């Protein structure tokens, strides 16, 4: 068989296997979505809300009385649970699950008119960092301690930045943009939703990725193939408090999703 004939054979074989894998992927996604939907219906409200609300109120009262005062505090707590099963050429590559919580705290020091985010020479001062890991246990006192430590860190960074800004402001000519308020007053939005999760037995999915990638292995035109199944449940809680008394703490976003990635490398 000459090179041209072999190339034509590969072109005939590859579409067949891609069609097989595409149908297999649809079957996996359909089953996984049913599992996620069933978990959603049984979801319960988060026990974290009372602890976050209590710490938000306490922090606003304590730091609002400091010099410079904190006039806005915002919390974002994201709880993520992920399961991954991956296989290649008929063999299992990966099968694991993990869960983590990530806490982000925003503290604005000063006032709506001038705070620590004010741009100086067109540059915005650095903040206290992107956030930190939060405890997975639903222990209110442990969670409140973690929130307080991150809030204190962010307040210190905000107050130091504001002192530098106000010192520089005295000797700099302000443009129209520089004289505009650094923060606007908006009506808070309140949304409440269920806490989502999923329950997954990875063993059946391990066999599925073995079986589906084995189809690719049978083709002489395929060098390598990978199928990865991922299930994700993510819940985000966001709370904010202002010096004018407006505060809100609600589940901001719930997401339950599955995905299947199929890849094949041909000669």
Q: How much is the average pLDDT of 74-90?
A: 93
Using CA atoms, how far apart are residues 47 and 29, in angstroms rounded to an integer?
A: 31
Q: How much is the average pLDDT of 236-262?
A: 71
pLDDT of residue 22: 37
* Residue 254 pLDDT grade (very low, low, confident, very high; cuts 50, 70, 90): low
User: What tens digit of pLDDT does each residue of 100-150 get?
Assistant: 999 999 999 999 888 998 887 767 767 777 899 999 999 999 999 999 999
43 pLDDT exceeds 70?
A: no
For the chain, what percent of residues have pLDDT higher than 90?
A: 39
38 pLDDT exceeds 70?
A: no
* Residue 162 pLDDT grade (very low, low, confident, very high; cuts 50, 70, 90): very high
pLDDT of residue 194: 75
pLDDT of residue 29: 44
pTM, to two decimals: 0.75
* Residue 170: other Cβ atoms inside 10 A: 6
CB 258 within 8 A of CB 229: yes
pLDDT of residue 259: 76
pLDDT of residue 170: 52
Instruction: Please give the torsion angle defined by the CA atoms of residues 154, 155, 157 and 160, in that order, rounded to the nearest 10 degrees.
Output: 170
Q: Which are the contacts of 49, defined by CB distance < 8 A and separation ≥ 6?
A: 237, 249, 250, 251
Q: Which are the contacts of 95, defined by CB distance < 8 A and separation ≥ 6?
A: 84, 85, 86, 202, 205, 206
User: What tens digit of pLDDT does each residue of 211-245 get?
Assistant: 989 988 888 888 888 999 999 999 888 888 877 76
CB 46 within 8 A of CB 249: no
pLDDT of residue 46: 67
Q: Which runs of consecutive H residues, i.e. helices, occur in the chain?
A: 3-41, 48-63, 140-169, 176-179, 202-217
3 pLDDT exceeds 60?
A: no
Instruction: Please give the torsion angle defined by the CA atoms of residues 160, 164, 166 and 168, in that order, rounded to the nearest 10 degrees.
Output: 180
Q: Which are the contacts of 165, defined by CB distance < 8 A and separation ≥ 6?
A: 114, 116, 118, 120, 125
- Residue of 100, 45, 89 whose CA lies nearest to 249: 45
CB 237 within 8 A of CB 76: yes
User: What tens digit of pLDDT does each residue of 5-36 get?
Assistant: 544 444 444 443 443 343 334 334 434 443 44
Q: How much is the average pLDDT of 172-187?
A: 70
- Residue of 77, 90, 157 whose CA lies nearest to 124: 157
Of residues 38 and 114, more confidence is placed in 114
pLDDT of residue 228: 93
Using CA atoms, how far apart are residues 33 and 55, in angstroms rounded to an integer?
A: 36
63 pLDDT exceeds 80?
A: yes
């Amino acid at each position: 068989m000459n090179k041209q004939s072999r190339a034509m054979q590969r072109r005939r074989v590859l579409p067949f296997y891609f069609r097989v894998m595409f149908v297999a992927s649809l079957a996996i996604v359909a089953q996984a979505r049913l599992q996620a939907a069933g978990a959603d219906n049984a979801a319960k409200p988060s026990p974290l809300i009372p602890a976050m609300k209590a710490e938000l109120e306490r922090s606003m009262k304590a730091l609002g009385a400091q010099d410079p005062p904190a006039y806005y505090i915002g919390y974002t707590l994201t709880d993520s649970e992920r399961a991954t099963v991956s296989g290649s050429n008929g063999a299992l590559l990966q099968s694991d699950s993990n869960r983590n919580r990530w806490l982000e705290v925003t503290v604005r020091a000063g006032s709506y008119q001038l705070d620590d985010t004010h741009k100086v020479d067109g540059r915005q001062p650095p903040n206290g960092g992107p956030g930190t890991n939060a405890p997975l246990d639903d222990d209110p006192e442990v969670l409140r301690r973690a929130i307080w430590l991150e809030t204190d860190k962010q307040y210190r960074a905000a107050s130091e930045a504001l002192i530098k800004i106000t010192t520089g402001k005295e000797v700099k000519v302000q443009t129209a943009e520089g004289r505009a308020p650094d923060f606007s007053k908006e009506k808070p939005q309140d949304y409440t939703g269920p806490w989502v999760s999923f329950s997954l037995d990875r063993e059946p999915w391990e066999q599925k990725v073995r079986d589906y990638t084995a189809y690719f292995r049978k083709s002489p035109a395929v060098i390598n193939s990978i199928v990865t199944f991922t299930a994700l449940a993510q819940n985000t809680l966001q709370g904010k408090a202002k010096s004018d008394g407006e505060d809100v703490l609600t589940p901001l976003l719930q997401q339950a999703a599955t995905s299947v990635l199929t890849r094949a490398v041909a000669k």
